[in-house]
Amino acid sequence: MEICSFYSTPYYCIVNVRRDVSGNCLISNLANFPILKERRLCSGLDVYRVKKIRKRRFCIIAAVKGFDSVDSGLLSESYNSDMVDGKVSTQDVTGRGKSGPKVMIPSLPCETKGDSVAVVESCLWEWKPKLNVHYEKSGCQNVNSAPILFLPGFGVGSFHYEKQLKDLGRDYRIWALDFIGQGKSLPCEDPTSQSKRLDESEGDGNNVFWGFGAEAEPWAKELVYSVDLWRDQVLYFIEEVIKEPVYIVGNSLGGYVALYFAAYYPQLVKGVTLLNATPFWGFLPNPVRSPRLSRLFPWSGTFPLPANIRKLTELVWQKISAPESIAEVLKQVYADHTTKVDKVFSSILEVTEHPAAAASFASIMFAPRGQLSFKEALTGCRMNNVPVCLIYGKEDPWVMPIWGLQVKRQFPEAPYYQISPAGHCPHDEVPEIVNFLLRGWIKNIESDSSVALPLLDSQESVEYGVVKDLEFVHQGMKKTVKVQFYGSMTSQ
């Protein structure tokens, strides 16, 4: 179903109507309505009763407040909305409604045009023996500004936040982290002895898969690239490098880790922003949470890799690390195919050529789940009053809008911005909008809400939501993107 767009009242939804429900009709009007069974269309306290009579559908408008007349043509639109547990649904607004005048927002700074751009530094931090963590930082001169830590998605690293480092680094202190086992945070030595060559006929020392040996080195005996390892990595990074509570922004897997970390250590988190966060991670049971069940799986991502896993990894890795496979994935996750992804593509390809990359991939895929589910982590953040902001690309083929709306339902006071068109990586595809929203949300938190949330100009907007067209200059041309804000009075 698609949605009917109404702007005369704050919000609308469609719900099933019990057959014994009847209302007092104050105003009657008949209109064609493409719904297969009796339903109710609600707007605040107003009620629109819809019923099916034989093969024709009619809408009887009743208890309409504040209307002198009703355009029945509006009711011929279609809907994209849900009703869960008797609560009002949020919806995408398309159809005939207008989102008002366009809102001009700043473009990204352009170095070639002489704009001021934050200097990005590439750094290494030795966390554990043989495990150096790579990260990038900017804005160190902004000593009194809010600190922000960016966590990457699966298969990428800090390079995916270049547009945030250069832009937001002009106002804030920014760090972007590579998770251990990804990006440039791969081990500097082979975690196993006598690793296997990709091509045994080559004797020059190249094309070797680290981690494919018969025995783990002492420093790698307990190593497994799990969400709990990344939680601990973030903990020590904040304590030893940043040295103060931070705002954490995470995309995809990074969003999961950000929420997971905040649930454990809320005192170190000023707020969490989820960018199309994956709502689950890991396939195998957690040994702490499910000790008996976990014993049924003899291997859970540790080193060395079992022989059958090594063979499987070789086959899978040769396929997914191929340049054409990487290009195809990027094509899937970016809704706007005019977005330049050359740097992202080359950076991902460089990571796949590291000798430890294949075994690290296998360890990640077979690592156990975290001790908290995504939903439990979200509950923990809410109980500890950790501010959460949701920014989701609508055209994401993986983490589709339904996942973001479920988070909004569980955390109704969290501001939720849906961007269209945008895919799985809105921070790279429409960085102008993500940076604009992040700036506004942080100002709102830092000011104890005396500064309004971005795009909102009234309390009614906070409660019921708005839709606005944001315009900016992108790659030398004007671009318009629709952003919908879901208010606190709506849940799905």
**SS3 per residue for the chain:** CCCCCCCCCCCCEEEECCCCCCCCCCCCCCCECCCCCCEEEEECCEEEEEEEECCEEEEEEECCCCCCCCCHHHHHCCCCECCECCECCCECCCCCCCCCCCEECCCCCCHHHCCCCCCCEEEEEEEECCEEEEEEEECCCCCCCCEEEEECCCCCCHHHHHHHHHHHCCCCEEEEECCCCCCCCCCCCCCEECCEECCCCCCCCCCEECCCCCEECHHHCCCCCCHHHHHHHHHHHHHHHHCCCEEEEEECHHHHHHHHHHHHCHHHEEEEEEECCCCCCCCECCCCCCHHHHCCCCCCCCCCCCHHHHHHHHHHHHHHCCHHHHHHHHHHHCCCCCCCCHHHHHHHHHHHCCCCHHHHHHHHHHCECCCCCHHHHHHHHHHCCCCEEEEEECCCCCCCHHHHHHHHHHCCCCCEEEEECCCCCHHHHCHHHHHHHHHHHHHHHHCCCCCCCCCCCCHHHHHHCEEEEEEEEECCEEEEEEEEEECCCCCC
> Does residue 228 register a pLDDT over 60?
yes
pLDDT confidence bin for 79, thresholds 50/70/90: very low
> Does residue 484 register a pLDDT over 80?
yes
Comparison of pLDDT for 34 and 235, the residue scoring more: 235
> Does residue 364 register a pLDDT over 90?
yes
Lowest average pLDDT, out of 8-12, 173-177, 229-233, goes to 8-12
> What percent of the chain lies above the pLDDT cut of 70?
77
pLDDT confidence bin for 99, thresholds 50/70/90: low
Comparison of pLDDT for 242 and 67, the residue scoring more: 242
Mean residue pLDDT across the chain: 82
Quote the pLDDT of residue 206: 55
pLDDT confidence bin for 100, thresholds 50/70/90: low
Quote the pLDDT of residue 15: 39
Q: What is the pTM of this model?
A: 0.80
**Residues 105-118 pLDDT 10s:** 999 998 888 889 99
Comparison of pLDDT for 100 and 474, the residue scoring more: 474
**Amino acid residing at 107:** S
Quote the pLDDT of residue 114: 82
Strand partners of residue 150: 176, 249
> Does residue 131 register a pLDDT over 60?
yes
Quote the pLDDT of residue 105: 97
> Does residue 149 register a pLDDT over 60?
yes
> Does residue 262 register a pLDDT over 80?
yes
pLDDT confidence bin for 488, thresholds 50/70/90: confident
> Does residue 85 register a pLDDT over 90?
no
pLDDT confidence bin for 194, thresholds 50/70/90: confident
> Does residue 170 register a pLDDT over 90?
yes
Quick one: 472 exposed, middle or buried, by C-beta within 10 A (0-12, 13-18, 19+)?
A: buried
Quick one: 229 exposed, middle or buried, by C-beta within 10 A (0-12, 13-18, 19+)?
A: buried
> What percent of the chain lies above the pLDDT cut of 90?
68
Cα–Cα distance, 186 to 50 (Å, whole number): 60
Q: Strand order in 56-62's β-sheet?
A: 13-16, 39-43, 46-53, 56-62
Cα–Cα distance, 454 to 416 (Å, whole number): 11
> Average pLDDT in the 49-68 region?
39
> Average pLDDT in the 41-62 region?
39
> Does residue 455 register a pLDDT over 50?
yes
Task: For residue 395, count other CB atoms closer than 10 A to its CB.
Answer: 18
Cα–Cα distance, 180 to 158 (Å, whole number): 12
> Average pLDDT in the 389-411 region?
95
Quote the pLDDT of residue 490: 59
Quote the pLDDT of residue 45: 34
Quick one: 214 exposed, middle or buried, by C-beta within 10 A (0-12, 13-18, 19+)?
A: exposed
> Average pLDDT in the 72-100 region?
39
